[in-house]
Chains A and B, each alone.
Chain A
């Protein structure tokens, strides 16, 4: 187990930023920390990176407990803070060299050029950091976090504010690292978490509302399937309701309907037969995949209602 978090709590004044959080991340796994703003994602990361101690509970990183072996932990983690702070007056190469020096690397020059090509900064490495665009700055932030080849990478919102192309590049970069590193990253963009991570922890108001593998997470919430049906002409809802296995019919447009099934069985065949029986024609019929987005929504809203 690469990271073990047990009962972690952080109190700021009277407010509990995170409340009794526990989760594990195995070596080589990518964990997505998901949650709305103010859920406690950044606080959790700040504790894991030994920036500040927890009020109670423990976080064990690579067998070392945060708060007791901070100096050793800091050597094993790479951290990309939120908003990616950089020294704007430094040159890209100079900055990476500086970071390599902090880590006391022996082959600084080789390592710096290796990372420059890894994150795709070959054309920019002689420029001043302040002159670069946000996407390039983000790459420098990633390079900085990876320069000492850490066992654990902690990335706080690594993809926020990037344009779609940069997003894809950074995402594939993160996925390509996967093999030998443990990665924790936070986001409130659900598609990102879904596409990159193996495991998701959903936080809301400092508490864990869900912690599971993505596949089982979306299954959990889905009792039946959702079908989207589009017809050539209108049909009465009772007809559709009478199909075996359909629990609910909702008219979503003039000629389109949303059907909910009672269980996981595929009833499309029956729907087709019934529609044709009634002299109508099907233009479209598909099973809606329940996305992480809807899972997220249902989890966090459930919490709000309490």
Chain B
């Protein structure tokens, strides 16, 4: 369901809507997909992750899981990678866009491959962070709607807010780069250019780990 919506939205933006479609753009580029990808994921990933723990807690199956011989980390890891796998399969069919543009280009193959590979990696790492945030938010509430809203809101803050804040006059010329680099957008833009920097990868991975760790702590609070 989520998969279909994702493909529908990105497909429409890529090919159909005349303002944004590659066909009218006259350059063979996948920039469209990668600029709206983070926005679409902002709503779709919360929809995937919202039920991770909230639903289990509401139905009482959390008690079933936690009394089985599984560690909290195993449970959280299972939930996280299940969500991430689903997102991965949402991204996979967009390779069709790549090949279409690749062969529609003139001459054939006139496409910035480095940027495309970088962008795919960037988008996947970005969704890894979104998923971790989503799983965490789902673990602190037993209401799926609340989990959805919290996730969408936090991901929005993480993605956009820091670059907005960095433009405030008080940071001008002093801390603006630092503030900007806390947000996801800065690192995503870097990778999208095809420049795969270990700093960015480490940033994405540590953000994911941070939220996974928070989830494990939040599960543990039943023992308090």
Partners in one complex: yes
Q: What band does the interface of chain B fall in when counting residues whose beta carbon is under 8 Å from A?
A: 10 to 19
Which one of A50-58, A164-172, A206-214, A265-273 is at the B interface?
A50-58
Given the complex, which residues of B lie within 8 Å of A52, measured CB to CB?
222-223
CB contacts (< 8 Å) of B223 on chain A: these are 52-53
* Residue A297 lies at the interface, judged by CB distance under 8 Å to chain B: no
Cβ contacts A66-81/B at 8 Å (1 or 0 each): 0000010011010101
Q: Are A85 and B68 in contact (CB under 8 A)?
A: no
**Chain B interface secondary structure, helix, strand, loop or mixed?**
helix
- Whether A71 contacts B61 in the complex (CB less than 8 A), given A51-B222, A53-B223, comes out as no
Beyond A81-B60, A87-B61, whether A51 also contacts B67 by CB under 8 A is yes
Is the pair B69, A85 in contact by a Cβ cutoff of 8 Å?
A: no
CB-CB < 8 A to B199: which residues of A?
A: none
Which B residue sits closest to A48, measured CB to CB?
B67
Task: Determine the residue in chain B with the shortest Cβ distance to A81.
Answer: B63
Count class of interface residues, chain A: 20 to 34
Asked if A86 is at the interface (CB within 8 A of a chain B CB), the reply is yes
Known: A51-B222, A99-B68; 19 extra A-B contacts, CB below 8 A, are A50-B67, A51-B66, A52-B222, A52-B223, A71-B71, A74-B68, A79-B67, A81-B63, A85-B59, A85-B60, A85-B61, A85-B62, A85-B64, A87-B61, A88-B59, A102-B68, A103-B68, A103-B69, A144-B64
A52-B222, A86-B61 are known contacts. Are A81 and B71 too (CB-CB below 8 A)?
A: no
Q: Which residues of B contact A103 (CB under 8 A)?
A: 68-69
Contact with A along B32-74 (1 / 0, CB 8 A): 0000000000000000000000000001111110111111000
- Cβ contact within 8 Å between B60 and A74: no
In angstroms, Cα B67 to Cα A81, docked, is 9
**Complex-state Cα separation, A79 to B71, whole angstroms:** 17
Instruction: Output the least CB separation between A8 and chain B (Å).
Output: 15
